[in-house]
Chains A and B, each alone.
Chain A
Amino acid sequence: MDPTKEVSIELLKGLLFENTMIKVDPQSINEETILFGEEGIGLDSLDALQMIVAVEKRFGIEIKDPTMARDALQSLKVLRDWIQLRLLSSPAS
């Protein structure tokens, strides 16, 4: 795996706060916090789009469709595992 693309919860939290219109206290977000949907923290479709583009730019992984986005963006932990899996299985790793 490319060491410049190390994935940590803190890094992903940073991406979340830099790239979305999130309005909650960063301290209240942990790796298990549900990001989207009724049980989520109030993020909407534009926030999802911003997060998807941020992940693409930072890690070079394209989130191609809504199903993939739904799978990847459940929580920061799920997103970390999802990115790590793709980085490990990519030809450059």
Chain B
Amino acid sequence: MRVITKIGEWFDHRLQLAAPIREAAEHPVPRNTASWFYVFGSAALTVFLLQLVTGILLALIYVPSGGEAWSSLQALNHGVTIGWFIRAMHGWGSNFMVAIVLIHMAQVFLFGAHKYPRELTWIIGVFLLLMTLGMAFTGQVMRFDQDAYWGLGIGASIASRVPIVGPAVVKLMLGGPIIAGATLSRFFALHVFVIPGMLIAFVGLHVLMVLKLGINEWPMPGRTVKRATYEAQYHALTKSEGAPFVPYAIWKDMFFAAFVVLAIAACAYYFGPFGPTGQPDPTIIQTAPKPDYFFLWLYALLSLLPPSLETPFLLIGPPLVIVGLILLPFLSGEGEKSWKRRPIAVVTVLMIAITLGTFTRLAQFTPWSPRMSAWSGDPVPDQYIHGTTALERQGALVFQVKQCRNCHSLGNIGGQRGPALDSVAVRLTQDQLIRQVIQGGGNMPAYGNNLSPAETTALVAFLETLHPATQSPARDAARDLVLSESKPKSATQP
């Protein structure tokens, strides 16, 4: 024991780090900040360190080459002992990291920690969020499979829309004229060197400022922040009811950090690694690329925005959000901290969470995408064929063969791009059906060029049978009259 103390003293005589470390560890924090609400920052740091470790382990095997990345991932999954688990840890760690950073941000905002004098801590936090998302996106590219390949195409298509410099930005991003080996190499450099380097520096600053300025005290309704008096009040608070950070508050951080690491390991163990999906071979087009979980909301947004709004939204939206987040502590740098007195802040967080959550949920079953195999895989349900005439059956065949099912469902089977057609005859008259099929409109292609008159007649005859037994199909009374006048002898009863 004495030897260890001696060795320790020898080092500290030269390093002189023990005193500042002890001072940092034992700095007084307000007692009520030793709360389970205050554990997300340290948890994010823990997951970041875990990502560094698993990332370095993956780099022992992974080859960032367009020709070999995919097979090196296969080797990690199947050939290298525990390789699948390390990949799974890194993938799940990424999801946990984004989630924890978002929770941390919401908590900090709701507790008013972005207010004076912690504005810069918040701003650096905003950059840390952007870097975390940057790591998530570049990491998806590292998993160089079909999703990564087409995801890069989506990134390039978005970047290309920047006025004037768009095409140059695309070539800079891809490292050449197409998505290829150079693209993967430069995303590797970003994912492994550039962004992590910046992350380490910014995380250091972020933590340093928490130490220098003190952790945000538990917000009390009515205890408002004023620039002139805040710091004196805070110091008085830490003096009167402060406690040393170690061990008074840190044990909760430690428990939660260990819990998060175990949760990541459990997810990795039970759910396994993400992909890789098919090879990054652009000639295999039987694929429906999807982004990773935390970009699904963007995928939904890009499907649902009107075409004319898309480019402005993509180019103006993100800078606006980032500038807004950076300006936030200057716009509301003083005043109430407690969420109990900040209803707009609470509603804003809820709105953002609900919006992102809804878009994410939508993107998980992509109702806007045609179901490419529905026309050949989903038969017309029996009840719609029962007791139909030959013409109507012919129409049902046309309905299948012309891929109507890819966008329209019958009996809840088929695509959801267009409306379900189970009761279309109630909504549209015969004339309207013919017009809609031939001319399209309302986001439906026109089929006039691809249907013969006989096919159209059969198809519309079939569509006219699609109504509930208790409801009669829509009809145009005026047209009935015209028909009855031109053919006085035929029956006109509907």
To the question of whether A and B form a pair in one complex, the answer is: no
Residues of A that sit less than 8 Å from B by CB? none
